[in-house]
Structure 1
């Protein structure tokens, strides 16, 4: 057996290795396998807790597709693949998903209090996930790119729009030149035509992805403008066009997804950019005065 064949038969035995393997092979996967693999990476707790039938229904594939994915990745069956997701849960210090499940099952007389607690739990889970997955090197690289930009373009639609609204406020207060791509008269695409490779963009979109956000980010990338993406999966079309990207998988409660982790990230970026620019400016040698 040659080295390439050995590599293909090496089966990931931990979640991070599995995630890397899926990302590496996603381009060559059949369409349905790629679909369920994307669902698995975006919803690892659902894979760990669910049955074959419930997972297949949620990911909109046949149960046999789950078995095919497991075999494609080298596992004996779906239960073998599912064990990796369950092991991930055991390795976590806190399981907010289990708390939410307990809350839903417990019910109670005070529905308002239970609802509030549920949303707080979902927000906490989102923050916990991001703390465990976002790498400091990615954050540093994004800050480097954005701090060097002449103008930062901000792209987000629908549910993601509050992220750019907050960054607009923060950038304005911090004196950072920016342009939010959200015109009421429908000239967003024309607005991004002003961007050059000396600028940069922050684009945020989550499944189901906003078509306008994707097209505008693609237009900027084609023009050589660095794009920093905030999205929910390595399979996101936004991630594939980004210079660097953050994977933020927001938890939901009663079908409503949190923006807590995404908002924490978009609060940190403007402050980090301003601080990087301040330090860069202070390190520049003072110009000598000519007599």
Structure 2
């Protein structure tokens, strides 16, 4: 082993690894520049398919990620874990916590409230998470990148919107706003199961917006990747540089939402997706 590799391994072994999924995701995003190609590939797969990492074997996960099992071990050690099993435990803990019922979450909230008003404390917690989310977006948003996203969408003949699960309200809001502003748009969410055919109708003269956050809705990722392969300009709204959406988007905007007792806010994402349609309409009105 050469001296630089030895130093890298020593540094990794001395690092205290993240013990929850959110911290691990942020850690990987911060270290993406230093990750070798295969390790970055494995890391992207892990963040895009956290349930599979929690439940799979090293061999099955490596096969799905198109890497060798040894790559998973090297990734784990690079991030400071003892090995793949130690790395996998973070994903298993996330799955365990996610499996808790809404009733259990509410019970946990109640245990943490010492004042007289349960309802007031509950509202205060959600409002605080919303404020923190919006403040984080205000500090992190890149106005120039936002303007580039607006430009791509303003030039489109039709704007396709893709969002599922927790991100679906963003699609509903944007579709409503674009419609009210007279901007042609199609939400890829058919009741009769022809979403793939709708995706195939998009052309390079159109544009698309895809929204998804960890653990990333598979249908959203698949449709976003299909649109990108077809050469359709794609604007991604997601939570990290290692998101599968940021990997295939023409331009992307990062939104990191805070949570209260496990209930994650959508406040910053809603603010962003309210601004986008209005900015697109104004760009078209001004013709710039």
Rounded Cα–Cα distance in structure 2 between residues aligned with 1:111 and 1:29: 49
Aligned with 2:164 (options 141, 157, 164): 157
Aligned with 1:23 (options 32, 36, 48): 32
Are residue 204 (structure 1) and residue 211 (structure 2) matched? yes
Q: Is the 8 A contact 2:29 2:242 kept in 1?
A: no
Q: Is the 8 A contact 1:123 1:258 kept in 2?
A: yes
Distance 1:125 1:216, change over 3 A: same
Aligned with 2:136 (options 129, 132, 136): 129
Q: TM-score, normalised by structure 2?
A: 0.66
Match of 2:122 in 1: 115
Match of 1:287 in 2: none
The alpha carbon displacement at 1:227 in A equals 0.7
SS at match of 1:268: helix
Match of 1:69 in 2: 79
Q: Is the 8 A contact 1:107 1:114 kept in 2?
A: no
| Unmatched segments (≥5 aa) in structure 1 | 12-17, 40-64, 72-102, 284-291
Match of 1:278 in 2: 285
Question: Residues 72-87 of structure 1 correspond to what in structure 2 (within 5 A)?
Answer: none
SS at match of 2:236: strand
Larger radius of gyration: 1
RMSD: 3.3
Q: Is the 8 A contact 1:38 1:234 kept in 2?
A: no
Rounded Cα–Cα distance in structure 2 between residues aligned with 1:29 and 1:110: 52
SS at match of 1:197: coil
Aligned with 1:258 (options 261, 265, 284): 265
SS at match of 2:201: coil
Match of 1:189 in 2: 196
1:189-226: per-residue Cα shift (whole Å, max 9, x none)?
Answer: 11011100010000001111111101111110000001
SS at match of 2:136: helix
Query: Is the deviation greater in 245-254 or in 260-269?
Result: 245-254
Rounded Cα–Cα distance in structure 1 between residues aligned with 2:211 and 2:189: 13
- In the comparison of the two structures, how many residue pairs are matched? 214
Q: Is the 8 A contact 1:38 1:233 kept in 2?
A: no
Rounded Cα–Cα distance in structure 1 between residues aligned with 2:126 and 2:168: 20
Distance 1:223 1:67, change over 3 A: closer
| Unmatched segments (≥5 aa) in structure 2 | 12-26, 49-74, 82-109
Distance 1:165 1:25, change over 3 A: same
